[in-house]
Amino acid sequence: MSSVNGGAAAPGQILTFHLDQEVFGVDIQRVREIRGWSPVTAVPETPSHVLGVLNLRGSIVPVIDLRARLGLERVTETATTVIIVLTVVSAQGKRDFGLVVDAVSDVADLSAKDIRATPPGITLSDRNSVPALATLGERMVLLLDVDGMLAGDSGVAL
């Protein structure tokens, strides 16, 4: 999927998942795998939203608590907590990250008419992790810009 509306996903498929009461979506082409929750190895002197690293078939993958990264209250892991392993693209290349989310929902198809830019003035900074919204029936899905959100994360250099 290419980028539209300042980093929002263009029409195609998204993986939807839950954080708190909200539904988020990421480009399905970025998703490498979905793993059940398992503890990670903590690394000293990392930002609070970086839980640690995971050994994924010989590759060391940073694991991000997406709730903490987006300023939501942390919760204890449950039976539905998963780690979504996805690929982030930056000027330095590609790198895999794990995102801890409350639960995975489904894969949804988007069309251009479903996507709208996030209204201006509602984010705290210029670095908007949710540059677009999608409507799927009666549901509102917050579309994450994983490249902008994670590749620029000073705590996890690429």
- pLDDT computed for residue 124 by the predictor: 53
Is pLDDT above 70 for 126? no
Show the tokens assigned to 74. Answer: 């942390």
> Helix %, strand %, coil % for the chain, to 5?
10, 50, 40
Q: Which of 9-23, 48-62, 142-156 has the highest mean pLDDT?
A: 48-62
Is residue 29 domain-resident? yes
- pLDDT computed for residue 13 by the predictor: 94
Cβ atoms within 10 Å, residue 16: 21
Is residue 91 domain-resident? yes
Q: What is the CATH classification number for the domain harbouring 105?
A: 2.40.50.180
Contacts of 91 (CB under 8 A, 6+ apart): 151
Is pLDDT above 70 for 66? yes
- pLDDT computed for residue 158 by the predictor: 36
Q: Which has more confidence, 6 or 102?
A: 102
| Domain extent for 34 | 3-151
Kind plus residue range of the DSSP H or E element containing 40: none
Is residue 73 domain-resident? yes
Q: What mean pLDDT is predicted for residues 100-104?
A: 97
Contacts of 113 (CB under 8 A, 6+ apart): none
Is residue 90 domain-resident? yes
Is residue 156 domain-resident? no
Is pLDDT above 70 for 153? no
Give alpha helix (H) positions in 4-156.
66-69, 146
123 — pLDDT class (breaks 50, 70, 90): low
Is pLDDT above 70 for 122? no
Among residues 138, 151, 132, 126, the alpha carbon closest in space to that of 14 is found at 132
Please give the tally of structural domains in the chain: 1
Is residue 47 domain-resident? yes
Is residue 157 domain-resident? no
Is residue 49 domain-resident? yes
Is pLDDT above 80 for 128? no
Query: What whole-number percentage of the chain has pLDDT above 90?
Result: 53
Measured CA distances, 144 to 23, 45, 129 (Å):
11, 26, 6
